[in-house]
Structure 1
Amino acid sequence: MWYRFFKYALFRPGVKLLMHPDLVDEQNIPARGGAVLASNHLDAGDTFTLPAMMKRRLIWPAKKELFEGKGPRMRIVAWFLRAVGMVPLDRSGGRASVDAMGPVEAELAAGNIIGIFPEGTRTPDGNLYRGHTGVARLALENGVPVIPVGMVNTRLRKGLFGLPTMKDARIIIGEPLDYTPWRGQADSVRVLRWVTDDVMAHIQDLSGQDYVNVYATRVKYGNLKGKDLTRFTRVRANDGLETPPTDAELAAQAAAGPGENDE
């Protein structure tokens, strides 16, 4: 109830009035069923412009600390997140992060759409950066499609009276990507990386960004801050990567047994 109230009473009118982004090819979002919506991340407005404009409900996992906030302001934030159905996500890494995926997977099993920014943070310079493999793990372990999204010109800027606005903003929805032929290899590092890079390549096709094959956090805060990134650039995110064999191909190879020249 609260999700629809905030969406149609506040966010959707506000986004249309102040930012007026163009939502392109919304028909690529399935009318029903679970899916992972994977987008590039240009600015803070990405988190509310897309769910405000699209018809189906979109759930962004939020870091669990926001649900545990102390003080009046953070309690309001926590109440809002729960009211609109957001789910907590542990970003501490390791087993805690894996175990914390339960609420996200429950939403997918219930037929809802989960939104994710595979880069893990906003781009520091407009480039598209290496994706984290969580998007691949969600798709493979839950058997749901990945819908690539390209944010274009969605950076917030000051408009009339200092109100936030966007200029020539477009949100482009790509066709769903089906990775179920590799579902049995959800623990394969090679497959997880290939799926992730393939998703990033489709996002790149939509957003038109240059691709840099390092994590954005290294450029924002780490050892690559202020450095020349030329040696890390790729024409396309999945350039040079070989498609791994599907589950069916691996099964066929195993059934065929060793070849004549195998020892």
Structure 2
Amino acid sequence: MHLLVRWLLAPLARLLYRPIVQGGENVPRRGPVIIASNHRAAVDTAVIALTAGRPVSFLGKAEYFTGRGPKGRALASFLSALGYVPVDRANAKAGLAALAAAREVLDGGGAFAIYPEGTRSLDGRLHRGHTGVATLALDTGAVVVPAALVGTERVQPVGTRFPRIRRVSVRYGAPLDFSRYDGLAGSSMIRRAVTDEIMDAIAVLSQQEYVDRYHQRPAA
């Protein structure tokens, strides 16, 4: 499945959508890196995976990996090939489990993508970031590459089931190094300052209006 995604599906998607990539050289090709992006549509994950220039891991619902029969096994294999890491989000300690899964990827020298807003923006604005991204950066020493996805909301607007053929842009900013805060990961003020710096960088890249409050998750 990994070979199918890499050699067939990925090139086909690039041909169809022809993503415009700016600043791709800002994503380190080796070593731990966190890609912190705005979140406009369900296809955002695929766009980052196709344009980052290296394998990238993402969090995925654990139930996607536990389906039975050929269909369930095929879905689990496909998601694994895309870089998804299963996390039980229904668990009361889902947040800790998500951080642990991401930390494992980064400790292994991998790339991990995260949406600090926590959910898709339904109003087109960039909302306050949750501090999990700062916790990961401070705990692992990974650099953070801010990223902005532009136009993905036109590929799969809220409520649509299948993606449309629309051209999108991805902008990767200069890596942010927070080693100056070594040993201060336990400070909530430091975590907030780091998160706000990351969100400021994303805002500059995306040119979205920034709203200093958390975006509410849509009702299930």
Question: TM-score, with normalisation over the residues of structure 1?
Answer: 0.73
Partner of residue 43, structure 2: 45
Aligned CA distance change for structure 1 residues 213 and 94 (closer, same or farther; 3 Å): farther
The 5 Å alignment of 1:114-125 reads 114-125=112-123
Q: Is residue 37–residue 115 contact of structure 1 (8 Å, CA) maintained in 2?
A: yes
201-210 vs 129-138, which moves further: 129-138
| Aligned mates of 1:85, 1:18 — CA distance in 2 | 21
How far does residue 72 in structure 1 lie from its aligned partner after superposition?
5.6
| Aligned mates of 1:208, 1:150 — CA distance in 2 | 9
Partner of residue 21, structure 1: 19
Partner of residue 159, structure 2: none
| Aligned mates of 2:90, 2:8 — CA distance in 1 | 35
Q: Is residue 89–residue 101 contact of structure 1 (8 Å, CA) maintained in 2?
A: no
Tell whether 2:109 aligns with 1:111: yes
Aligned CA distance change for structure 1 residues 163 and 63 (closer, same or farther; 3 Å): closer
| Aligned mates of 1:113, 1:95 — CA distance in 2 | 23
The 5 Å alignment of 1:224-235 reads none
| Aligned mates of 2:103, 2:163 — CA distance in 1 | 37
Deviations 1:102-144 (A, max 9, x none): 3322221221100111111111011001111111111000011
| Aligned mates of 1:135, 1:146 — CA distance in 2 | 9
Tell whether 2:202 aligns with 1:203: yes
Aligned residues: 215
- Give percent identity, aligned residues only: 37
Q: Is residue 56–residue 83 contact of structure 2 (8 Å, CA) maintained in 1?
A: no
Tell whether 2:54 aligns with 1:56: yes
Deviations 1:145-195 (A, max 9, x none): 01000111222448xxx962124x210000000111113121211111111
74-83 vs 42-51, which moves further: 74-83
The 5 Å alignment of 1:116-135 reads 116-135=114-133
Which runs of 5 or more structure 1 residues have no equivalent in the other structure? 222-263
How far does residue 97 in structure 1 lie from its aligned partner after superposition?
2.8
| Aligned mates of 1:146, 1:181 — CA distance in 2 | 14
Q: Is residue 44–residue 152 contact of structure 2 (8 Å, CA) maintained in 1?
A: yes
Tell whether 2:165 aligns with 1:165: yes
How far does residue 96 in structure 1 lie from its aligned partner after superposition?
4.7
Aligned CA distance change for structure 1 residues 63 and 183 (closer, same or farther; 3 Å): farther
| Aligned mates of 2:118, 2:163 — CA distance in 1 | 27
Aligned CA distance change for structure 1 residues 215 and 79 (closer, same or farther; 3 Å): same
Aligned CA distance change for structure 1 residues 78 and 195 (closer, same or farther; 3 Å): same
99-108 vs 18-27, which moves further: 99-108
Partner of residue 149, structure 2: 151
How far does residue 63 in structure 1 lie from its aligned partner after superposition?
2.4
| Aligned mates of 1:153, 1:85 — CA distance in 2 | 23
| Aligned mates of 2:34, 2:81 — CA distance in 1 | 21
- Selected match of 1:79 from 77, 80, 87: 77
**Larger CA Rg, structure 1 vs 2:** 1
Which runs of 5 or more structure 2 residues have no equivalent in the other structure? 157-161
Aligned CA distance change for structure 1 residues 34 and 4 (closer, same or farther; 3 Å): farther
Q: Is residue 19–residue 164 contact of structure 1 (8 Å, CA) maintained in 2?
A: no
Q: Is residue 24–residue 51 contact of structure 2 (8 Å, CA) maintained in 1?
A: no
- State the superposition RMSD in angstroms: 2.4
Q: Is residue 34–residue 114 contact of structure 2 (8 Å, CA) maintained in 1?
A: yes
Q: Is residue 36–residue 146 contact of structure 1 (8 Å, CA) maintained in 2?
A: yes
Question: TM-score, with normalisation over the residues of structure 2?
Answer: 0.86
Aligned CA distance change for structure 1 residues 217 and 76 (closer, same or farther; 3 Å): farther
Structure 2 SS opposite 1:177: coil
